[in-house]
Structure 1
Amino acid sequence: MSTITVTGATGTQGGATARALLNAGHGVRALTRHPDSPAADALRALGAEVRHADFDDRASLDAALTGTDSLFAVTTPFGADVTGEVRQGKALIGAAAAAGIGHIVLTSVAHADRDTGIPHYGSKHLVEQHLRAAGVPWTVIAPAAFMDNYAGGWILDGLREGTFAWPMPADRPLALISAADIGAFAALVLQRRDEFTGRRIDIASDERTPRQIAEILATAIGRPITHQEVPLAHVRTRSADLAAMFDYFTTVGLDVDVACLRRDHPDVGWHSFADWAAGQDWPALLSPAPARR
Structure 2
Amino acid sequence: MSTSLTPSTGSPLIAVVGATGKQGGSVVDALLARGARVRALVRDPDKPAAQSLADRGVQLSIGDLGDAASLDALFDGVDAAFAMTTPLEGGTERETEVGIAIADAAARVGVPHLVLSTVGGAERESGVPHFESKRRVEEHIEALGIHHTFLRPVLFMDNLSGFATSVEGGEVVVRLALPDGIPLQMVAVRDIGRAAAAILLGGTAVEGESIEIAGDTLTGSQIAKTIGAYAGLPARYEALPLEAIAAFGDTADMFRWFAETPAYQADFEATRALVPDALDLPAWLAASGWHLAA
> Fold-level match, TM-score > 0.5?
yes
| Matching of residue 136 in structure 1 with residue 146 in structure 2 | yes
Identity among equivalent pairs (%): 36
| TM-aligned CA deviation for residue 128 of structure 1 | 0.3
| Matching of residue 231 in structure 1 with residue 231 in structure 2 | no
Q: 1:274 aligns with which of 282, 286, 290?
A: 282
| Matching of residue 245 in structure 1 with residue 254 in structure 2 | yes
2:160 equivalent in structure 1 = 150
| TM-aligned CA deviation for residue 236 of structure 1 | 1.2
CA contact (8 A) 2:211 2:267 kept: no
- Secondary structure of the 1:278 match is helix
| TM-aligned CA deviation for residue 38 of structure 1 | 2.7
2:5 equivalent in structure 1 = none
Q: Could you report, residue by residue, the CA deviation over 1:80-104 in whole angstroms, capped at 9, with x for unpaired residues? A: 1111011100111111111121100
2:7 equivalent in structure 1 = none
Task: For 1:191 and 1:260, locate their aligned partners in 2 and report how far apart those are by CA, in whole Å.
Answer: 16
Task: For 2:51 and 2:140, locate their aligned partners in 1 and report how far apart those are by CA, in whole Å.
Answer: 33
Q: Which amino acid aligns with 1:286?
A: A
2:110 equivalent in structure 1 = 100
CA contact (8 A) 2:177 2:244 kept: no
Q: 2:134 aligns with which of 121, 124, 127?
A: 124
Q: Which amino acid aligns with 1:272?
A: D
Task: For 1:37 and 1:179, locate their aligned partners in 2 and report how far apart those are by CA, in whole Å.
Answer: 23
Give aligned pairs, total. Answer: 281
Shift of the 268–43 alpha-carbon distance from structure 1 to 2, 3 Å rule, reads farther
| Aligned-CA RMSD value | 1.9
- Secondary structure of the 2:40 match is strand
CA contact (8 A) 2:40 2:74 kept: no
* Structure 1: runs of 5+ lacking an equivalent: 288-293
| TM-aligned CA deviation for residue 34 of structure 1 | 4.3
Task: For 2:203 and 2:41, locate their aligned partners in 1 and report how far apart those are by CA, in whole Å.
Answer: 21
Shift of the 195–171 alpha-carbon distance from structure 1 to 2, 3 Å rule, reads closer
Q: Which amino acid aligns with 1:242?
A: T
- Secondary structure of the 1:133 match is helix
2:3 equivalent in structure 1 = none
- Secondary structure of the 1:30 match is strand
- Secondary structure of the 2:115 match is strand
2:87 equivalent in structure 1 = 77
Q: Which amino acid aligns with 2:287?
A: G
CA contact (8 A) 1:6 1:29 kept: yes
1:53 equivalent in structure 2 = 63
Q: Could you report, residue by residue, the CA deviation over 1:96-149 in whole angstroms, capped at 9, with x for unpaired residues? A: 111121100000101100111111111111100111122321000100110010
Task: For 1:268 and 1:184, locate their aligned partners in 2 and report how far apart those are by CA, in whole Å.
Answer: 10
Q: 1:286 aligns with which of 275, 281, 293?
A: 293
| TM-aligned CA deviation for residue 277 of structure 1 | 1.1
Choose between structure 1 and 2 for higher RCO, CA contacts under 8 A separated by at least 6 residues: 2
Task: For 1:270 and 1:190, locate their aligned partners in 2 and report how far apart those are by CA, in whole Å.
Answer: 18
Task: For 2:249 and 2:67, locate their aligned partners in 1 and report how far apart those are by CA, in whole Å.
Answer: 30
| Matching of residue 218 in structure 1 with residue 204 in structure 2 | no
| Matching of residue 167 in structure 1 with residue 177 in structure 2 | yes
Q: Which amino acid aligns with 2:134?
A: K
| TM-aligned CA deviation for residue 44 of structure 1 | 2.3
Task: For 1:53 and 1:223, locate their aligned partners in 2 and report how far apart those are by CA, in whole Å.
Answer: 48
CA contact (8 A) 1:44 1:50 kept: yes
Shift of the 94–202 alpha-carbon distance from structure 1 to 2, 3 Å rule, reads same
- Secondary structure of the 2:164 match is helix
Q: TM-score, structure 2 length as denominator?
A: 0.89
| Matching of residue 177 in structure 1 with residue 184 in structure 2 | no
Shift of the 90–169 alpha-carbon distance from structure 1 to 2, 3 Å rule, reads same
1:21 equivalent in structure 2 = 31
Q: Could you report, residue by residue, the CA deviation over 1:213-252 in whole angstroms, capped at 9, with x for unpaired residues? A: 1111112222233222222112111x22111110111122
Say which is worse superposed, 1-10 or 220-229, in terms of deviation: 220-229
Q: Which amino acid aligns with 1:135?
A: G
| TM-aligned CA deviation for residue 40 of structure 1 | 2.4
Task: For 1:260 and 1:281, locate their aligned partners in 2 and report how far apart those are by CA, in whole Å.
Answer: 27
